[in-house]
Structure 1
Amino acid sequence: MTRVTIAGLAAQLKLSKASVSYALNGQPGVSDETRRRVLDLAADLGWHPSASARALSRSRTDAIGIVLRRDPSLLGAEPFYMSLLAGVESVLAETDQALMLRMVGTGVGQDLDTYRRWSAQGRVDGVMLFDISVNDPRPALLDQLGLDFVVHGNRAQVAPGRVLLYDARGDSALIIGDLARLGHRRVLHITGPLEFEHEDDRRAAIEGEAFARGISTVFAASDYSSDAGERIVVETLAADTAITAVVTSNDMLALGAAAGFDRLGRRDVALVSWDDSLVCRLGSRPITALARFPEEQGRRSTRMLLDALAGVPSEVTTAKPSELVVRSTSIPAP
């Protein structure tokens, strides 16, 4: 079903988008007759439940929510999320709004229970989603609950108009392009869990970019931990000596991969991390990485969610493009 938008309502009613927004959100600036026309048409066309519910029956909480399926004790070890949350908070501070953050572990359904509880208690106006999985139940549940949301992801079709879009193909072109320039012809890509759509997209993008340049690829899935990065590198490079470069899906995996090189006595293998952080910048061999600007992505997604809550279209719905930061681990193939 096509999502009903403010622009669509405005076109049908021959009103400005601002007038429709005022009417839907119970704000002054329109007559009672105009407000009635807007609300009647919105109800007839199935206007997004959270927007109509707020306009018709519920006060704002001035809070947004984030539920992370992560072990709380490990969050501090993931610099990407810490930087992204800093960006979220910077925008909320400007608008005097609050962030509710919950880390629920990896148990099945715990995040869904949190959304249901927040909705029943009227705790948040909207939420932000990360790590979209194949056939993820969260977008449909949030629509059912009437909670606005914004997704961090690679696929616009997950929730049309509500996805901050990242460019997995563009990122892969930067990574593989540099490795090709350095003469590498066989690459190990250590992904995160392939249940996540973004990891599946990254794998496909790396494979496609490598194939186009005559480079063969080997893939291994992981849990994002440094221990996994070290173990996979030691096992895979010992069995496949043709591999001359390793790409990891985050900085902690890259740290583990570097430790694996040391165990094997290999100083001739290139290494690229999909995430940049202090982990990559420090040490005796700083690691080449993609600068993905997580703080800016946090700001952009928060503005998108606040725009949705206000009933106005967002000007920016794409993530800031990544940049490859070349460091000591960008070495030519032997």
Structure 2
Amino acid sequence: MKRPTIHDIAREAGVAKSTVSFALNGLPGVSEATRQRILAVAGELGWQPSRAARALSAAQAEVVGLVLARPTGLLEVEPFFMRLIAGVEAALGADDIGLLLQVVGDDPQHELEVYRRWWGQRRVDGVLVVDVRVDDQRLPVLAELGLPCVLVSSEVPGSGLTSVGLDTKAAMVAAVAHLRALGHTRIARVSGHADFQETVLRDRAFAETAGPDAVIVAADYSGERGAAATRDLLLSGQPPTAIVYDNDVMAVSAVGVAAELGLDVPGDLSIVAWDDSPLCRLPHPALTAISRDIPGYGAAAAGALLRVIHGERVPDAVFGIPELVVRGSTGPA
């Protein structure tokens, strides 16, 4: 069926197109009786406002952007981003705002090109920025463009950009304290990308709480690199008795490595995962994990971005309280 237009409404209501436009947009110059008659005709015809036309008249796209500069293979198995996006969509959907998602692979420069194109073509009203790096070259570019944005990250001093982060230190303290209470002294950490700001903050918190024998090995969040890092640690001269992982994918891969080497979990090796996605309940034993409300985190970041887009000065925020969920993968040293 042909989509009804304001011309159709005007013909059925017996009024001018300008009168229909005033009535539908809530503008003065139309009597209340005429406005109600026009709205009734519009409803009968099944008319819906055009998002494109409304965005053009309001100089807004009514769309928020999110670029993921991660290998597509990792995104296939990493639950974090799908949970984050679910929360973002929930917050945006309440205001009828769309989400434009683009995956550019492990290429930050391509990400900058996407931001410039989106903003130049007014395809988005703002963006959520993930995977903030140390000395991140994206941040001054975003500030220079004037593109409204929120960093899905801990605060970046001096950036002038709003951030919504998670309490990394409290989460790490909870994980290490649990292992120390079980008698573990040789505790290791398998981290994500070494140049990510969150990795640096977690490394620092781990070093402060795990003691002088703590070991940190950098990986990339993938199961392959997580397994390789685990194997290297367990075959070293002083293997750890417990390992804390930077995501659930790497922690699950560690269970397989332990079995391959003839080690019992948790008898010989205790494992702590991060994020507590459904992956943590798949292995046997199920994984002890730091649980965080990732959908809620996404919703909080999206809500902050909508406020920034509307011109508010939004302070940096820390979302939620991490909780250690103890399962079968941790036991006495």
Check the 8 A contact 1:64/1:99 in 2, yes or no: yes
Alpha-carbon distance, 1:108 to partner: 4.5
Larger Rg over CA atoms: 2
- Counterpart secondary structure, 2:189: strand
Letter in 1 for 2:172: S
Q: How many residues align?
A: 275
Match of 2:82 in 1: 82
Q: 1:260 aligns with which of 253, 257, 260?
A: 257
Query: C-alpha distance in 2, partners of 1:314/1:281?
Result: 37
Letter in 2 for 1:61: A
- Counterpart secondary structure, 2:240: coil
- TM-score w.r.t. structure 2 length? 0.79
State whether structure 2 residue 312 is matched by structure 1 residue 325.
no
Q: CA, structure 1 residues 155+240, in 2 after alignment: closer, same or farther (shift >3 Å)?
A: farther
Check the 8 A contact 1:300/1:316 in 2, yes or no: no
Match of 1:232 in 2: 229
Check the 8 A contact 1:166/1:318 in 2, yes or no: yes
Instruction: Give the unaligned 5+ runs of structure 2.
Output: 1-26, 28-56
Check the 8 A contact 2:255/2:283 in 1, yes or no: no
Letter in 2 for 1:264: L
Match of 1:193 in 2: 193
- Counterpart secondary structure, 1:155: coil
Query: C-alpha distance in 1, partners of 2:230/2:161?
Result: 40
- Counterpart secondary structure, 1:99: strand
Query: C-alpha distance in 2, partners of 1:102/1:158?
Result: 28
RMSD: 1.9
Instruction: Give the unaligned 5+ runs of structure 1.
Output: 1-27, 29-56
State whether structure 2 residue 128 is matched by structure 1 residue 128.
yes
Query: C-alpha distance in 2, partners of 1:325/1:89?
Result: 27
Query: C-alpha distance in 2, partners of 1:221/1:197?
Result: 13
Match of 1:175 in 2: 175
Alpha-carbon distance, 1:312 to partner: 2.9
Query: C-alpha distance in 1, partners of 2:141/2:316?
Result: 25
Letter in 2 for 1:254: A
- Counterpart secondary structure, 1:157: coil
Check the 8 A contact 2:65/2:127 in 1, yes or no: yes
Match of 2:309 in 1: 309
- TM-score w.r.t. structure 1 length? 0.78
Q: Which runs of 4+ in 1 moved over 2 A?
A: 71-74, 158-161, 311-317
Higher mean alpha-carbon deviation, 66-75 vs 301-310, is at 66-75
Query: C-alpha distance in 2, partners of 1:190/1:132?
Result: 19
Q: 2:244 aligns with which of 230, 247, 256?
A: 247
Letter in 1 for 2:141: L
